[in-house]
Structure 1
Amino acid sequence: MGAYVSIRGWLECDEGQFTAARKVISSHEDDHYSHGWGAPRRHINWTYYLFYGANIRESAVNWFTGQLREIARISDADGYFVRGLFLASHEAAGMTEWQVREGRLFTSPADTRYQYLDE
């Protein structure tokens, strides 16, 4: 049956980056796990946010991280990249932190202070 990974987190960007990120997400539409993406109903002030929250099969993790890698490379006119933070909890392997910054996706074991989310 396969293991599941609980993914939750967000991306921060400007309006142009937000539009470009939504295009990336649309290009990976799968009519299932894609529904985990969301944004505020109405934009407030200057930062745009995209959120993701879903339990996905382990086999779909590369589908998701592929999107994050594409989105991470989006920069604005001043060279600032999209940034964000995600926590991914694997049923057996534990929790990992995914940082979207500097045009890349950085992964590392999550800090133990986030373990309460897996209880």
Structure 2
Amino acid sequence: MGVYVSIRGWLECDNAQLTTAQEIISAHADDHYSHGWSTPQKYVNWTHYLFYGADIRESALDWFTNQLKEIARLPASDDDGDLIQGLFLASHEVDGTTEWQVRDGRLSISPADDRHQYLDT
């Protein structure tokens, strides 16, 4: 059956960055796990959110993290200099939960705080 990882989280960006991030996601589309990506039907104010939630096979982790790394590297789209940022929790069936931070143009992965252990059940 394989080992699964439950991934849930979001990215925060502006409209121009959202468009480019969606192009990156489309370029990696697999007609299965890519359906975990979603956006609100309508946006409120200036921050745009891009959400992901799915249980994926461990073998697909590189597929997902490669997308996040590519999205994280997107430049600021205006003079305020804001880069894309986000937070994901990944609960691995064997290795436990890790926290994935998208910030400063990169993806950083570290063990999740103990207070998130309830998500492993």
Quick check: 1:88 aligned with 2:121? no
Q: Return 5+ residue gaps in structure 2 as ranges.
A: none
Aligned match of 1:69? 69
After the TM superposition, list the runs of 4 or more consecutive aligned residues in structure 1 that deviate by more than 6 angstroms: none
Aligned match of 2:100? 98
Where 1:9 maps in the other structure, the secondary structure is strand
Q: Displacement, 1:80?
A: 2.1
Count the aligned residue pairs: 119
Q: Which amino acid aligns with 2:67?
A: Q
Q: Deviation per CA, 1:19-70, whole angstroms, max 9, x where unpaired?
A: 0100000000000000000000111111000000000000000000000000
Q: Displacement, 1:117?
A: 1.3
Q: Scaled by the length of structure 2, what TM-score is found?
A: 0.96
Report % sequence identity.
67
Where 1:43 maps in the other structure, the secondary structure is coil
Q: Scaled by the length of structure 1, what TM-score is found?
A: 0.97
State the distance in 2 between where 1:81 and 1:35 align.
25
Match of 2:113 among 101, 111, 114: 111
Quick check: 1:56 aligned with 2:60? no
Where 1:75 maps in the other structure, the secondary structure is coil
Q: Which amino acid aligns with 2:119?
A: L
Aligned match of 1:40? 40
Quick check: 1:23 aligned with 2:23? yes
State the distance in 1 between where 2:83 and 2:90 align.
22
Q: Which amino acid aligns with 1:42?
A: K
